[in-house]
Structure 1
Amino acid sequence: MAEPEHGITTGAVARRLGVSPTTVRSWDQRYGIGPAVRGDGRHRRWYPADVAMLEEMCRLTASGVPPAEAAHAAQRRPSAGPVTTESAAVPPSESAEPVGRRTPPTGAPSVEARRAGPGSGLPLGSVRQECRGLARAAVRLDGAAMEGLLQEVLAQYGLVTAWEEVMVPTLHAVGRKWESSDDRYVEVEHLLSWHVSTALRRAAVTGPVTTSSAAPVVLACVPAEQHTLPLEALTAGLAEQGLPTRMFGAAVPAEALDAAVRRSGPAAVALWSQARSTADHALARHVAGTAFGVRGARTAPLVLLAGPGWLGRAPAHGMIRPSGLREALDAIGRLYGRPAGHPDG
């Protein structure tokens, strides 16, 4: 299925990058970071090369480069052709995309192996062969095939690699497809998300039974944040290592999160924010400052600012901003005396 000929809207681009449409328009007006081609009526329509330029702008500004300099550098970046799922999923410094990729088992397809062939229906780019099968099953609404494929990749590659190199690229490919197709394929994204969630929860349940009395890890989406899949992946990864977790899910009210932290006395708290509009820095500081334990030996949890919503501000004391699932697992594992790079299956 061919890509749409008219690009995608500014709103769709903004949602993908985790910034406001006003910011995207401002970059265009002030610095010339705009689409090469405009539709009828001068409306902005963004094509893959345009989106790649915006992603570079986001990456540079998030790392502290002044906007004018970032715009100049982004405009001069070498043309990389169509944007792949791995570059377009989440800004490079944030959590959903691969960091420190795991080397596949002997005989496994290369990460850079095959491009999605004709009939895949989704713009997958250079990703695993398994992504092509999962994408085709999603487009066919073939739930049984998706379930089987997800079980296979989890068993063969382990949780981290399955999440970063199969699940995330396919999910983002589906998201881009409906954004650029007049909201078609919404049913494909919903069904795929449900099966990915099911596979992750199954992996969490089948992990080693935790009998330790060690402090747990609390995982929650900030208030108004509905995206839970990355936290479900982190929950499954922790369960795979036999670490205790308490997963509270989507849009946890501030009062409920405070109560959960105080009642469970966690070693770490992972807070997910998909967009800057949902990132609650005051709440994160409050959680990081919540101390518990006996007088003279009180401790506070390590707060993980997970997700692209936390970009743009340096983490405060007692907080870290992991760049991916593996880094988050390593940081939490160290709290329990686990070595970095603990095997994921």
Structure 2
Amino acid sequence: MTQHVHPAQPAGGPPTFAAGAVARRLGLPVSTLRSWNNRYGIGPSDHQRGRHRRYTETDIAVLAVMQRLVAQGSPPAAAARAARDRRPNNVRLDGPLVKHLVGAAYRLDSHTTITTICQALTTHGVVDTWQHLCVPALNQVQERVSGQGDCVEVEHLLSWSITTSLHQVVATPVGAPVAMLACPAGEHHALPLEALNAALAERGVPAATLGADVPERALADAAGRARPKVVVLWSQAPATASPSALRIFDDASIMVLAAGPGWARTPLSGPVIAVNDLSQAVGLIMDGAQNR
């Protein structure tokens, strides 16, 4: 999931990125970046004639918005106008926004939770919204649930709001699934797979998401029919981290990712790769899709 992009750090300024690095990060041809810049003015915000184009994180976020809107069917010119209006400064992924989201969840105000998450997704994309808004909000709610045993309904509403928002904002790409995402038998925490599915869809990568509590026989049958290049098994707790589930995919043509904290104590052998965060998983699946 890690994005292998190394920024340059000008003295006294924010890090910037070359066009090739940005293209790899977004999964776009460099020619598309050049075309969007020339036709629609979506490109480096501080480009100087005669110098190589360098993109800031804000520039990349605007490009990502345009990329998502085009993938969802918007004409490029309209997508460019909308992307300029949805710069990251309009919706800041910070402590106050997390507090706002958690407060709405405690009030059981699903309209506000969904609106807040959708605005963040539209502006910042799935990976940043998940890591900097959804996960901190979920952690705050879950601390109270585990510590005092109450507010389970708040956790459920927040989880449902995140899933609903992901489905509303991100369109499902067409095509045979590149990845298969599932939880082993007994594992019911499938929300991280929803986030991964949406992050892949955002990049035009189709995935078959089987969700929670999938028996091993069903995993094997699904893999035989879908023939994915990558399989991701999410385990929240050690009790559901089943080595036998991993062995189902003992095939050199399939990349297997053991995702989640549940696998931390499980010895992983062969080609199985441990995955610890969303951005790392996305990067590995993108690599696996191209190289297998």
Q: TM-score range by the shorter chain?
A: 0.5 to 0.7
Q: Which residue of 1 aligns with 2:127?
A: 160
1:171 aligns with 2:138: yes
Q: 1:321 aligns with which of 247, 265, 274?
A: 274
Answer 1 or 2: which has greater strand percent: 2
Letter in 1 for 2:132: E
8 Å contact kept, 1:304–1:319? yes
Give 5+ residue unaligned stretches, structure 2: 1-56, 62-86
DSSP-derived class of the 1:271 partner? strand
Shift in CA distance, 109/223, structure 1 to aligned 2, threshold 3 Å = same
Q: Which residue of 1 aligns with 2:25?
A: none
How do residues 186-197 of structure 1 correspond to structure 2 at under 5 angstroms?
A: 186-197=152-163
Letter in 1 for 2:236: Q
Shift in CA distance, 234/273, structure 1 to aligned 2, threshold 3 Å = same
Distance 1:191 1:236 in 2: 19
1:332 aligns with 2:281: no
Q: Which residue of 2 aligns with 1:63?
A: none
Q: Which residue of 2 aligns with 1:138?
A: 105
Residue 335 of structure 1: CA displacement? 2.0
8 Å contact kept, 2:117–2:165? yes
| Number of residue-to-residue matches in the alignment | 208
Q: 2:255 aligns with which of 294, 302, 317?
A: 302
8 Å contact kept, 1:219–1:271? yes
Q: 2:219 aligns with which of 230, 254, 257?
A: 257
Distance 1:195 1:108 in 2: 21
Residue 178 of structure 1: CA displacement? 2.0
Answer 1 or 2: which has greater helix percent: 2
TM-score normalised according to structure 1 size: 0.56
Letter in 2 for 1:258: A
TM-score normalised according to structure 2 size: 0.66
How do residues 1-345 of structure 1 correspond to structure 2 at under 5 angstroms?
A: 107=89, 127-181=94-148, 183-204=149-170, 206-207=171-172, 209-211=173-175, 216-287=178-249, 289-290=250-251, 300-337=253-290
8 Å contact kept, 2:88–2:123? no
Letter in 1 for 2:272: M
Shift in CA distance, 110/199, structure 1 to aligned 2, threshold 3 Å = closer
CA RMSD of aligned residues (A): 2.1
- After superposition, the C-alpha distances for 1:225-268 in whole angstroms (9 at most, x for unaligned) are 00000011000011111111111111001100000011111100
Q: Which residue of 2 aligns with 1:88?
A: none
Distance 1:157 1:169 in 2: 16
Distance 1:329 1:300 in 2: 18
Residue 197 of structure 1: CA displacement? 1.3
- After superposition, the C-alpha distances for 1:268-311 in whole angstroms (9 at most, x for unaligned) are 00001001111001220221x14xxxxxxxx5310010010100
Q: Which residue of 2 aligns with 1:62?
A: none
Distance 1:273 1:156 in 2: 30
Letter in 1 for 2:163: S
